[in-house]
Structure 1
Amino acid sequence: MAIKNTPTEIRWNPEQPISEVTQTSDLTVSPEVIEEIADLRAQIGKDLVMLGHHYQRDEVIQFADKRGDSLALSQYAAKVEEAKYVMFLGVHFMAETADMLTPKDVKVILPDKRAGCTMADMADIDDIEDAWEQISAFYDTSKIIPVTYINSTADVKAFVGEHGGTICTSANARKIIEWALSIGEKLFFFPDQHLGRNTCFDLGIPLDDMIVWDPEEPLGGHDQASVKDSRILLWRGHCSVHQHFVPEHADSWRKRIPDIKIIVHPECSFEVVQKADYSGSTGGILKTIREAPEGSKWAVGTENNLVNRLGNEMVEQGKEVYSLAPYACLCSTMFRISPEALRESLKALTQDEYKWLITVPDQIRNLSNLALERMFKITG
């Protein structure tokens, strides 16, 4: 394994040669820490599967046995027969999903339990249950289909499972929302309003048919008539990374490089998505750029670690890949999975200790898996 201890690159300046990129900082990880991680990983061997999310920093993701998005990684872990442990180099909700999909005797570990997800935290289960109760006072909630983005807590996944709903990813959101609206009068979408809005608009649903539910306001900030008349209820949540992208970023790039293509994640705002040439999931972004013609130029509206690795990968094909924003858009919570935290977690594992064990209670696990099973059935 080639061990890296260099800082993350930021590819954003179109006036700078592709071979000369700036750095996020001058800090480097101690080579001793990296070497110790490699030694500990080798010592544990096949008992451990390490999963690395696309947004993870280079110094950490280099140790992953598999890279991908959260659901695909959890599905991969569930199929690994020899593993006793799964270590998720991601955030808390991802580790929860891995725990739900793997056998109960497999221990799921998150190297830093502070590595949460701000979007997932915006949809608190108590607030969702309160919203459901408020609506039930004047509307038949059996006609509302709740759908939660995979970027949500196990409690929220269990809620949609219990109430006849399901889960979606950014890749299958269109198919899931089509299903929901085919069996219900309304959709209640958690926790990312932007993914919900962008997908529904793409399905031909007018913006006027959508309202944003603010959990801090009675009836989400609306009156009963507005809730009854709306077709789509969007929870007031967003991604702290993708909210940084604004329409002016697209305008700036097109002014500098007229033939540049702009591709963004659907967690970006409606205004940004409308400015883009393409919008798609993380996997969709990777596939689109990898299959693009040689020499093409791209500005990408998603997390910087992914953009940097993709840009370096595309150099040999003569493609230029930059971040849409003129500053680093990093997932700060995932960044808490530091090389030092990874080292300590591996060290604990060699001593039959867990830093940190993620366990979903049985009742929550069962209801969440019900929602996941519906998703798999709908999407085939």
Structure 2
Amino acid sequence: MSKALKDKILQLKKERQAIILAHYYQIPEIQEIADAVGDSYNLSKIAQGCSEQVVMFCGVRFMAESAKILSPEKTILLPAANAGCPMADMAAYEDLLELQKEHPNAATVSYINSSTEVKAISDVCVTSSSATKIIENLNVDEIIFLPDKNLGGYIAEQFPNKKFIFWNGYCVVHSRISPEDVLKMKDKIKDIVVLVHPECEAPVRKLADFIGSTGEIIKHATESSSNNFLIVTEEGVIHQLKKHNPDKNFYIPGEGMTCVNMKKTTLKNVYEGLLNMQHQIEIDEEIRIKAYNALNNMHKLSR
């Protein structure tokens, strides 16, 4: 890490009275300058509850938009303006409206990895960690779930009496891992514990010793008495795993699990963003209010 650049960022942060938030999948240099590191929704809640009025959100666009939905009065900056989410882009507003017409009795449940426009016509949002509890509390028998068919399939397995209509979306990082990638590591390291994100496909999930969100994977590995872990999610999480567990070993399957968009953010981006107050997130107020309702329902139904 460039110490001079880091010092400039910290000085600018103080001058702007800003907070820097970083997702677990960001590069280590970004995680190290952040005031908080976490998953997308928890970071949005931090943004909502903090006293700072300027939030530098080091993640991808839908995450910064979620923070703006919850905190419209604050200035939300996205350091890498072109950091998007291919899975979120797979769900189009107009196509969802058509699907809703075909299933008028279904509740629309959108993964937080979705656009503001999609959230605005959803009944509730979910995270990978809260989805099961929310579906349990949702008093409907038919559910449109989008955009991730893999997370949707994982949830549906737990509710055989509910009818799910899945969007044909997926995470390009998680879906590229095959069962063979996992089995190779299990053969190589006999006592390895397999920790899998539910965005992975069903054949990979079946090989898991534990399935959970990014935060849950970190918690499980930290509390486990085992020493060897196969981490089947975006490899940026390894930085936090090693910080919390310096004596444990962490491995990634296949050729690696890297989200190109999550790795677009650099220290230079953060510095220039704070210097010029650029790439501010703006959302139409009418759409924001509708999207807020879906996020607010997530909070209520996850209790």
In the alignment, does 2:54 pair up with 1:131?
no
Shift of 1:31: 5.2
In the alignment, does 2:170 pair up with 1:201?
no
Q: Which residue of 2 aligns with 1:309?
A: 240
Q: Which residue of 1 aligns with 2:15?
A: 43
TM-score by length of 2: 0.94
Supply the AA of the counterpart residue of 2:289: N
For residues 122-271 of structure 1, the aligned pairs below 5 Å read: 122-133=90-101, 135=102, 141=104, 143-160=105-122, 165-180=123-138, 183-204=139-160, 231-271=163-203
Q: Is the 8 A contact 1:311 1:322 kept in 2?
A: no
CA distance in 2, matches of 1:308, 1:269: 24
Structure 1 residue runs without a partner (length 5+) = 6-29, 210-230, 349-353
Supply the AA of the counterpart residue of 2:267: P
Supply the AA of the counterpart residue of 1:69: D
Supply the AA of the counterpart residue of 2:57: F
For residues 276-291 of structure 1, the aligned pairs below 5 Å read: 276-291=208-223
- Percent identity, aligned pairs only, is 33
Supply the AA of the counterpart residue of 1:292: S
Shift of 1:360: 1.6
Supply the AA of the counterpart residue of 2:232: G
For residues 63-102 of structure 1, the aligned pairs below 5 Å read: 63-81=33-51, 83-102=52-71
Local SS of the residue matching 1:233: strand
Local SS of the residue matching 1:335: coil
RMSD: 1.7
CA distance in 1, matches of 2:282, 2:41: 17
Shift of 1:309: 3.4
CA distance in 2, matches of 1:132, 1:188: 8
Q: Which residue of 1 aligns with 2:275?
A: 347
Shift of 1:204: 4.0
Q: Is the 8 A contact 2:6 2:33 kept in 1?
A: no
CA distance in 2, matches of 1:98, 1:202: 30
Match of 1:273 among 196, 205, 213: 205
Q: Is the 8 A contact 1:314 1:321 kept in 2?
A: no
Q: Which residue of 1 aligns with 2:266?
A: 338
Residues 233-262 of structure 1, C-alpha deviations (whole Å, 9 max, x = no match): 110111121112111122111111121110
**Greater C-alpha Rg:** 1
Shift of 1:33: 3.6
CA distance in 1, matches of 2:280, 2:43: 18
Q: Is the 8 A contact 2:229 2:251 kept in 1?
A: yes
Structure 2 residue runs without a partner (length 5+) = none
Shift of 1:185: 3.0
Shift of 1:146: 0.6
Shift of 1:132: 2.4
In the alignment, does 2:284 pair up with 1:361?
yes
Q: Is the 8 A contact 2:47 2:55 kept in 1?
A: yes
Q: Which residue of 2 aligns with 1:10?
A: none
Local SS of the residue matching 2:260: coil
1:172 to 1:105, Cα distance in 2 relative to 1, 3 A: closer
Q: Is the 8 A contact 1:273 1:279 kept in 2?
A: yes
Q: Is the 8 A contact 1:97 1:154 kept in 2?
A: yes
CA distance in 1, matches of 2:20, 2:9: 12
For residues 46-65 of structure 1, the aligned pairs below 5 Å read: 47-65=17-35
Supply the AA of the counterpart residue of 1:53: H
Q: Which stretches of structure 1, 4 residues or more, deviate above 6 A after TM superposition? A: none
Q: Is the 8 A contact 1:242 1:303 kept in 2?
A: yes
CA distance in 1, matches of 2:171, 2:11: 36
For residues 290-329 of structure 1, the aligned pairs below 5 Å read: 290-293=222-225, 295-315=226-246, 318-323=247-252, 325-329=253-257
